[in-house]
Amino acid sequence: MTTAAGTPSDRSVLPITERYPLVGWLRRNLFSDVFNSLLTLAALAFIIVIARIFLRWVFFTAEWGVIPANFNLLMRGQYPAAEAWRLWLVIYLLGAVVGICWKLIVGQFSGAARVLIAIPFVLMLIPFFSMGSRLNLLITAVASGAGFFIAGYLPIQRRGRAAAYFLIAYLVVMLVLLRGLPGEEGPMPPVQPILWGGLLLSLLLAFFGITLSFPLGVLLALGRQSKLPAVRIMSVIYIEFIRGVPLISLLFMGQVMLQLFLPDGFPLVDRVLRALVAITLFSAAYTAENVRGGLQSIPRGQYEAAQAVGLSAYQSTIHIIMPQALRAVIPVLVGQFISLFKDTTLVALVGIFDLLGIARTIISNPDWLGTQQEVFIVVAVLFWIFSYTMSYASRRLERRLGVGER
Amino acid sequence: MAENDTAEMADNGTAEEIIICQDVCKWFGDFQALKDCNLRVQAQEVVVIIGPSGSGKSTFIRCINRLEEHQAGDIIVDGIPLTRDVRNIEQIRSETGMVFQQFNLFPHLTVLENITLAPIHVRKMRKDEARDTAMGLLNRVGIPEQADKYPGQLSGGQQQRVAIARSLAMSPKIMLFDEPTSALDPEMIKEVLDVMQELAETGMTMLVVTHEMGFAREVAHRIVFMDGGEIMEVGTPEHFFTNAQHERTKLFLSQIL
Amino acid sequence: MQTIHASQVKPPFYRDERILGIISQVLIVVIVLGLGLFFFSNMISGLREKHSVAISFTFLSQGAGFDIGESLIEYSRERTYFRAFVVGLLNTFQVAFLGIVIATALGIVIGVMRLSTNFLISRIAAVYIEIFRNIPLLVLLIFWAQAVFLKLPRVAEAFVLPGPIFLSNRGIAIPWGIPTESWGTFLIVLVAGILLGAVVVYLLREQGKRTGRMPLVTLWFIVTVAAVGFVGWIVLPQPLTLEQPKLEGFNTQGGKILSQQFMALLSGLVIYTAAFIAEVVRAGIQSVSKGQREASTALGLTAGQTLRLIIFPQALRVIIPPLTSQYLNLTKNSSLAIAIGYPDLFAVAGNTILNQTGREIEMFTMIMGTYLSLSLLTSLLMNMYNKRIRLVER
């Protein structure tokens, strides 16, 4: 370092892009050359125009009165107001069960857990909620925190199994709360499913669609991979048939024809239930194909090792093959669950009042003529929040599991 | 009459012969992978199978625990005939352990869970008991400190030792090794061979497919040379490395040594 | 040596691997067939109470007696149910075809924008994708129909874009070419141009094989066809005359009118599907490793050559299969037309005809059969394509 290259500061002065990180970032990402700079300006102009139109509409043109006036309708349809406490109880319990299961299955509070716990708080930000509803959401958040905390102290040996029991118990309690107990005069009079509506019904259809179609899809995937030809062929026919036709045709068929298939005198199947059957049968075929992708990704050696240590076919499927296959396809499965959730809107076309169905009745109400834009934007935003949360949580979960594997 | 035959065999003083293979044949489509293979293995014997690749060595030992189904001939393991009888297949599998070239550990389970899975679910062992056994085995293969790691976090040699421990956890009477060191980096081969040698010294019946001639010479009681799906020559290590009879055996040994 | 015959020992049947396999298959088949038969017999007995004949397609030749809003072929209420069915099918094809073309173009643009090094451009594309992938298509469709196209002014006060294009709540009126007497001749010239183009492609391919340098075959094909077409257009006396829509009273006259329903369906399908196609394109381009670009630059290929000869063929291989399934989705999704009153296959057959005739089995068989053959045909082509690609790989 004895060269006479002048004082060091002459040559080692950092270029401006490195001295000020912001400048460097701007130059690299927005103004790297003339063409890029022009693009940046065009994009800026585009954003400004769109934002202006949108904001002006939101704050000046739009008539938001229609939303608070129909808010309960959008949320729970015709579910009687006097019984609304049952719905909140269902939601509290959901929060608690999610907290418990998270502690039992995952263990620590991390990644996707932060997203989950954020959901009630994000929902509280929706401007149309009453103070009471916000309080209820807060209670839900507290319930899930409490569930998480308490589950840590439960003397439980087989945690996975315990979580499954909690979920099943929750399902039963939820159905009882929603449906009510027999007897009009009792503390919980029955509420027919056809009265369930709005966001409540959309979420329920998605929830039951997922929980019912998932096991069916796994069975179909195993069937398609089976070495017994008869089982394989039947699975393939089912899967390819369902995937080849639009959901709307199955929904219509369910409404029109399900009763035809059942014997005379069979009690009339509820309209909502008929739709759920169609959604479940539809989704199962797609689940099957996704799970099959996971099954195919498992090397033959895993099957052989499981056989060699003496596991039966059933045991190796449960303990070795399925856990790995499902883990490999979590992102695709979540993607499919999101599309199932979005597809529940199709029930609005067969006379069921889910969130979209309710929205359609509101805009046809003479009191609220011309409010299509407001109503449908709110509906779209609601669907968007749930779908986006699901896909965001799945990305986090994927990253977490990816780390665990190494 | 068939029933009589088995009964006769079972108490016919062949108790010493723990594996009997007679005229075993196996085809993959048109290709005959095994041609009339005959081999009788005594209890506590270590038999090493060598031969060029594609000679049917792996197929042969994979037939013994029914990972492959043989189409003709007889295989009897510890007096149990290997037929389409699912009960017999289950019994034979729980009496034989197998170690694979690619380890085939279960990547979603920890080392300890890998080892305790089969004892808990097949042998219906209690969980803590299975844990204790597993820790004992991990001590024996020299890696007790890795118990709670996942297979992906271990080196190849460590993984293969876990795989050996996993097989031993079912307390098998016979261990089958299918090229256990072929997928390992050179510096890790010895640690696995050491474990195998120690296992042989405890009197385990072992059938080992390998290219490790040093191991064959030192540990094997008998060596089997296979080529083209046939058992060409069987003999003691001295016999093999000093005066092999068959032309093809000599050729193979000259190429590999 | 003692002989043994283990293989001749027959295990009892309830423990025999092979017999157990057969038994379980038979069991499952019997259960499934039994269930099917149970449903089927219920259905037949139910139907017998409704119609005199259980299942029959003869009603298809009866007069339909209802109008259809728009049709590509000549149709009136005096025509048969079958004709109505075909009208619906063609309408499905029309919207699916246009939707696929436009959604692909939009999807590619957004997918490429997503990969731009320009932060803002890439963000805009990301926001587009995240918004439209997470909103139900049906909400989007109804939004377009009810909150956009229905909200356009009445015809008398229609927005007029240069062209002129009239935007009103009746739909969009655009200028349209009307064939003259020489149109037929011009079509013949065009076909000749395509044939000539094929010959040129063949010759260039052969030359490419000889020299090892593949010329831009597609480009030359387009140039040939365009040149022939241009000459034909000049030589022939005006094959098409441009007819412009005019405002007359409460309606527009002339030109081509794209109905409000059609436009809503098309816009919804395109915007929704483009978000998915953009992701497919992005994933495809990203799947070509950086090493490929580096290797090709190191060999001295120019940026354009790298793109055409190295990146593009590899990305295409990844893109084509999911792209096809997006096309199929779009086609199946077009059945949501029923929500906004566009008379596609499902709206005509599954709703109008079914309600009029009460023929559930027959109509659902025809509808599902049609969609099913479409998708099976597509997967057949896909499998052939995949096989060809795999051959190239080895």
Asked whether residue C250 is domain-assigned, the answer is yes
- The CA-based angle A221-A224-C30, given to 5 degrees, is 110
pLDDT at C115 over 80: yes
What per-residue confidence (pLDDT) applies to B8?
40
CA torsion sign for B51, B52, B54, B55 is negative
pLDDT score recorded for residue C303: 78
Q: Which amino acid is at B72?
A: A
Q: What is the pLDDT of residues A326-355, one digit of tens each?
A: 988 888 899 999 999 999 999 999 989 999
Q: How confident is the model at residue B45 (pLDDT cuts 50, 70, 90)?
A: very high
| Residue C301: CATH number of its domain | 1.10.3720.10
| Whether C20 and C108 share a structural domain | no
- Split at pLDDT 50, 70, 90, the class of C337 is very high
Q: Which residue in the block uniquely carries the two structure tokens 């957004």?
A: C110
Predicted pLDDT of residue A405: 42
- B90:A312 CB<8 A: yes
CA atoms within 13 A on the CB side of B89: 21
Distance from C-alpha of B114 to C-alpha of B110, rounded to nearest angstrom: 6
The tokens for B230 are: 């046939």
Nearest to C328 by CA among C20, C96, C6, C27: C96
Q: Taking a C-beta distance cutoff of 8 angstroms, is the pair A189, A180 a contact? A: yes
Domain that holds residue C378: 81-175+244-389
Q: Do C46 and C107 have their domain in common? A: no
- Enumerate residues 141 to 170 of chain A having a beta carbon within 8 A of any beta carbon in chain C: none
Distance CA A104, CA A94 (A): 15
The pLDDT of residue C52: 62
pLDDT at C9 over 70: no
Judgement on whether residues C260 and C385 belong to the same structural domain of the protein: yes
Q: In whole angstroms, what is the distance from residue C316 CA to residue C194 CA?
A: 25
* Average pLDDT over every residue of A127-145: 87
The answer for residues whose C-beta is within 8 angstroms of residue C336's C-beta and 6 or more apart is A248, A346, A349, C137, C138, C141, C265
Q: Which of A301, A308, A405 sits opposite B93 (nearest CB)?
A: A308
Residue C235 lies in a domain: no
Least confident of A81-85, A294-298, B98-102, B121-125: A81-85
Tokens representing residue B60 in the block: 């042969």
Per the listing, tokens 């527009």 go with: C252
Nearest to C107 by CA among C86, C91, C128: C128
Report strand pairing: C165-168 vs C159-161: antiparallel
Name every chain B residue with its beta carbon within 8 A of the beta carbon of C12.
85
- Residue A1: predicted pLDDT: 43
Helical spans, DSSP H, in A125-158: 131-151
Same-domain check for residues C148 and C281: yes
Best B61, B101, B104, B170 member to test A by mutation, with max A CBs in 10 Å, is B104
- pLDDT on residue B7: 39
Residues C308 and C383 in one domain: yes
Q: How far is CA B63 from CA A26, A308, B21, B205, in A?
A: 66, 11, 10, 17
Identify whether C139 is part of a domain: yes
pLDDT at A4 over 60: no
Residues C160, C45 share a domain:
no
Contact A77, A359 (CB under 8 A): no
- A-chain CB neighbours of C146 within 8 Å are 363, 372, 376
Enumerate the residues of chain C whose CB falls inside 8 A of the CB of residue A384.
131, 134-135
Number of domains in chain C: 2
| CA distance linking residue A197 with residue A332, whole number of Å | 29
Neighboring chain B residues of C7 at a CB cutoff of 8 Å: 72-74, 81, 83
pLDDT tens track for A355-385: 999 999 999 888 888 888 899 999 999 999 8
Q: Which domains, ranges and CATH numbers included, belong to chain A?
A: 17-61 (no CATH), 80-190 (no CATH), 200-406 (1.10.3720.10)
Average pLDDT over every residue of A184-210: 87
pLDDT in tens, C150-208: 888 887 778 888 878 888 888 888 888 888 888 888 888 889 999 999 998 888 888 88
C37/C97 same-domain check: no
Q: Is residue C283 part of a domain?
A: yes
Q: Are residues C148 and C265 in the same domain?
A: yes
Asked whether residue C270 is assigned to any structural domain, the reply reads yes
The answer as to whether C334 is a domain residue is yes
Residue C229 lies in a domain: no
The reported pTM is: 0.86
Residues C47 and C86 in one domain: no
Structure tokens given for A107 = 């263990």
Q: What token pair was written down for C14?
A: 């309830």
pLDDT over 70 percentage in chain B: 94
H helices present in chain C, as ranges: 17-50, 81-114, 119-133, 137-142, 183-211, 217-235, 260-287, 290-298, 303-305, 312-333, 345, 354-357, 360-393
Longest dimension (CA), chain C: 110
Task: Name the residue among C7, C11, C20 with its Cβ closest to that of B74.
Answer: C7
Cα nearest neighbour of A41 on chain C: C120
Report residue C6's pLDDT band, with 50, 70 and 90 as the boundaries.
Answer: low
Instruction: Report the alpha-carbon distance of residue B193 to residue A149 in Å, rounded.
Output: 49
Looking at the fold, whether C106 and C155 belong to one and the same domain comes out as yes
Q: Work out the mean pLDDT of chain A and round it to a whole number.
A: 86
φ and ψ at residue C242, rounded to 5 degrees: -80, 125
Q: How far is CA B130 from CA B106, B115, B118, B180, C137, in A?
A: 17, 8, 9, 25, 54
Residue C204 inside a domain? The answer is no
ipTM reported for the complex, 2 dp: 0.87
C47 and C88 inside one domain: no
Both C47 and C85 in one domain: the answer is no
> Residue B39's beta-bridge partner residues?
B21
Quote the pLDDT of residue C357: 87
* Nearest C-alpha in B relative to C20: B86
> How far is it, in rounded angstroms, from Cα A24 to Cα A31?
10
* C-beta atoms of A405 and B153 within 8 A: no
The pLDDT value recorded for residue A15 is 72
Over chain C, what is the mean pLDDT? Answer: 86
What secondary structure letter does DSSP report for C338? G
